[in-house]
Amino acid sequence: MKLAIVLCAMVALSECLVRVPLVKHKTIREDMEERGAWEDFRRIFPFNPMAKFDQSLTGAEQMTNDADLAYYGVISIGTPPQSFKVVFDTGSANLWVPSVYCSSPACGNHQKFDPSKSTTFTSLGKGLSIQYGTGSMEGSLGTDNVEVGGLTVTKQEFGYSQYEASFMYYMKADGILGLAYKNIAVEGITPVFDNMVSEGIIHNNYFSVYLSRSPATGSEVVFGGYDPEHYNGNLKWIPLSSETYWQITMQSITINGKVVACASGCQAIVDTGTSLIVGGEVNNLNTAVGTSNGVVECASIGSLPEVTFNINGYAFTLPPSTYVRQTSSGCYTGFENSFSNGVGNGLWILGDVFMREYYTVFNMRDNFVGFAALR
């Protein structure tokens, strides 16, 4: 073909025709129809998958990795804006930040919201109390303008703390922005993401999370879109089993094809606000990978087995380089017993250890999560 093109350049165009045979391939639709996947695709994904790149439809917020403990980004509240670092937490549904009325040590080294300095703030005259797995906060409720990723939600209800448990003292983030369903929002508050949709700020009722393997930079949450540049292959869609947390059903957890946990199936939540993988059978899992109570000889990481989470007919595998944490005091698996984390009811939590391997799309309109392996 290259030779034919060169010869054409040497003669009159009318005297040179290069005939290229056309081969008709199956369309994507035809291929998916043959595999019985087209209707599911249409139902789940009728929107424009490139919407992320239309900045009028989406908002992207860069996140920082806080020592693999949490990922946070910067938002602003009020007029003029007051800036705060918040954890984007799919395991809760409320937004709150410290306030000038908080005297707890945990508030002392964080930015504090001052209602008197915002011309758009309104007090709701009632309190707020939220219990997390690692502690709690108490405060009051108000409304104000909230800017996230270049998008502004007006009159957003949020909490401003007057007391914070010590767990926040060690966090670089000032507060928490919940991204779970309204059903679990304390005081029935409408979450930030829901208001983005209802106010027409974004056109697609889904958001995506990329947790970079980098120690600090590169991570992001995208509201109303997702970025195919971050992952390989296609997203694998998992239906939710409960529209509270982002809760799904796991069939089993296996190593080399052998079931080591969740043998009869179990429930799991996909939680950006939990740094580890948490479950009631973690002792079995740690034993199965060949560790003693999760303690690993750092020199032996490469010889540990892969761990596979079987979900909705898909296998999501974590290599040891992903699930082992290397710290200054030694190496440990990223698996924690749920009872030491304050989480019961047999729920597993697929936290950041899992999501650093899999790009995640949270589809609230159709109640699915989508996973794809990171590049």
Q: Name the CA dihedral angle for 324, 326, 330, 336, rounded to a multiple of 10 degrees.
A: -40
Report how far residue 123's alpha carbon sits from residue 301's, in angstroms, rounded to the nearest whole number.
Answer: 53
- Is pLDDT of 364 > 90? yes
Q: Cα-flanking dihedrals φ and ψ of residue 168, to 5°?
A: -80, -15
Report how far residue 259's alpha carbon sits from residue 272's, in angstroms, rounded to the nearest whole number.
Answer: 26
- Closest by CA to 111, choosing from 174, 167, 63, is 174
Distance of CA 325 to the CA centre of its chain: 20
Residue 165 near residue 106, CB atoms below 8 Å: yes
| Residues whose CB falls within 8 Å of the CB of residue 108, separated by 6 or more in sequence, listed in order | 169
Taking residues 173-195, what's their average pLDDT?
Answer: 97
Give residue 339's pLDDT band: very low, low, confident or very high (50, 70, 90).
Answer: low
Print burial letters for 283-300: b (CB count within 10 Å at least 16), e (below 16).
ebbbebbebeebebeeee
* pLDDT, tens digit (0-9, with 9 covering 90-100), for 114-153: 999 999 999 999 999 998 877 889 999 999 999 999 999 9
The CATH class for the domain spanning 51-222 reads mainly beta
Assigned token pair, 64: 């920082």
Give residue 20's pLDDT band: very low, low, confident or very high (50, 70, 90).
Answer: very low
- Maximum C-alpha span of the chain: 87
| Residues whose CB falls within 8 Å of the CB of residue 284, separated by 6 or more in sequence, listed in order | 260, 261
pLDDT score of 215? 67
- Lowest average pLDDT, out of 35-39, 83-87, 249-253, 279-283, goes to 35-39
Please give the C-alpha separations between residue 298 and each of 7, 237, 288, in angstroms, as whole numbers. Answer: 63, 35, 17
Report how far residue 313's alpha carbon sits from residue 328's, in angstroms, rounded to the nearest whole number.
Answer: 38
Q: Structural domain boundaries of the chain?
A: 51-222, 231-373
Residue 80: cis peptide before it, omega within 30 degrees of 0: yes
| CATH code for the part of the protein at 231-373 | 2.40.70.10
Q: Cα-flanking dihedrals φ and ψ of residue 44, to 5°?
A: -80, -35
Indicate the SS3 state at residue 147.
strand
Say if 51-222 and 231-373 have the same CATH topology. yes
* Residues labelled as active-site residues: 89, 271
pLDDT score of 65? 83
Report how far residue 260's alpha carbon sits from residue 287's, in angstroms, rounded to the nearest whole number.
Answer: 9
